[in-house]
Structure 1
Amino acid sequence: MADRTSPVVPTAPAEAMTPSGINHLVINVRDIEESHRFWTEILGFKQVGVSLRRNGKMRFYSGDHGGQMNHHDIALCENPDLPAPPADWDMFKTPVAVNHIAISMPSREAWLKQLAF
């Protein structure tokens, strides 16, 4: 067609398709340098990119995928106007949008080794 639209209309499935997983997360952070150190030095992610459109205030990180890196698994986006974290953290009473993020490691031993690093 001249307007580049398809005359074919897909048929709606009978039920929703189950996703294969989460592709990536974008997390707003108050301090990109502090968050960068946490995700790289503590958790071991590798920085694989930076957004020049955000003056370096958005960075991209990948875990190890069998010796390969993704474009990104996690992106950090600095927003210094975010509220400070509460002094006393509580998993169920703290008013935050993300409760927690679980990071997969090859084994418990690998995780303990990373923490010791």
Structure 2
Amino acid sequence: MEAFADFKSQGKIRQGGVSNFTPAMMEESRDTFKIVTNQVGYHLFDFRPEAEIMPFCRENNMGIMAYGSLAHGLLTGAMSPETKFEDDDWRRSLMAFGQPLFKGETFL
């Protein structure tokens, strides 16, 4: 956050945002740099930001930017139960409502 503050004092940036910060992390940065937005993963299978992150941002006049809004491709219609992911594809570990979205290599 000190780098953000330095860049702002040098006129290199006007504002700054963060990604995947918890309320505690945003609170900790408050004295160093004013965060204007927090980018979080948010989609129909993952509402976790609604519990703490979104209320904190609302109370502190910070914006929210969502990424993965189509569940990282799962809601595009491009995948089916036959879709197989490689072992190193991070989407294999996605959860929906606390349950894995995949059984073995296939999308449920």
Query: Shared topology, TM-score over 0.5?
Result: no
What range is the shorter-chain TM-score in?
A: under 0.3
Task: Please give the TM-score of this superposition, normalised by the length of structure 1.
Answer: 0.23
**Structure with bigger RCO (C-alpha 8 Å, 6+ apart):** 1
When you count helix as a share of all residues, which structure comes out higher? 2
Task: Please give the TM-score of this superposition, normalised by the length of structure 2.
Answer: 0.24
Find the structure with the greater CA-based Rg.
1
